[in-house]
Amino acid sequence: MTKGLVLFSIVVPPAINAPAEPTLEKIYTKDSRFQRIKAFFKRRSCPMERYAADLVTAADLHKLDWRLLPSLALVESSGGKTYANNNVFGWDSCKQKFPTIQAGIHAVAERLANSPYYKGKTLDGKLKAYNQNPHYAAVVKRVMSQLATESW
């Protein structure tokens, strides 16, 4: 018998007929918010259409108005048409880099909910902190209104 470290591994084969993990899109298929965001971006030929489920998920996780993130994306990057560093929200004057667009969605949602600059503020307060331009809040809120009222 030897003294020392013994390493072993257990290999578990994948289960046959195991159901695939549902995608976010399948989870939200019947959610009207998902449908509205998807249709809203599709009508405008915006790449952010494919991230509709991520936008709803991030809003729900961080208790944000479901219309805020898509509206910011439309205002800041034309719905994902023009952006850099996977930053479709223009976060930190577009200097912030995200590994993926999904990571950017969730990071921005988390900051809008929990950062001292935003936490506890009304929508107007959050928008004023997001962009100091006096017309910015009105532009974002107009997009939010369109999201809520357009048919899908």
Tokens (6 digits) for 31: 């959610």
Q: Which amino acid, residue 23?
A: T
The reply to whether 14 falls in a domain is no
CATH of the domain at 145: 1.10.530.10
CA distance 150 to 1: 75
Task: Tell me the per-residue pLDDT of 104-136, one tens digit each, with 9 for 90 and over.
Answer: 999 999 999 999 999 999 999 999 999 999 999
pTM (predicted TM-score):
0.82
* Residue 12 banded pLDDT, cuts 50, 70, 90: very low
Is residue 35 in a domain?
Answer: no
Decide if 24 contacts 54 (C-beta within 8 A).
yes
**Using H for helix, E for strand and C for coil, what is the string for 111-128?**
HHHHCCCCCCCCHHHHHH
Average pLDDT over residues 60-85: 97
Confidence at residue 29, expressed as pLDDT on a 0 to 100 scale: 73
With respect to residue 6, please indicate whether it lies within any of the assigned structural domains. no
Question: Is 20 domain-assigned?
Answer: no
> Is pLDDT of 68 > 50?
yes
Q: What local confidence, expressed as pLDDT, does residue 56 receive?
A: 96
pLDDT of residue 26: 67
Residue 84: alpha-carbon gap to chain centroid: 16
Q: How many domains does the chain have?
A: 1
For residue 67, tell me if it sits in a domain: yes
Is a pLDDT exceeding 50 seen at residue 8?
no
Domain that holds residue 79: 45-149
Residue 11 scores a pLDDT above 90: no
Residue-wise burial string across 104-116, b where 16 or more C-beta atoms lie within 10 A, e elsewhere: bbbbbbebbbeee
| CA-only gyration radius of the chain, Å | 20
**Is residue 32 domain-resident?**
no
**39 part of a folded domain:** no
Q: What does the mean pLDDT of the chain come to? A: 87
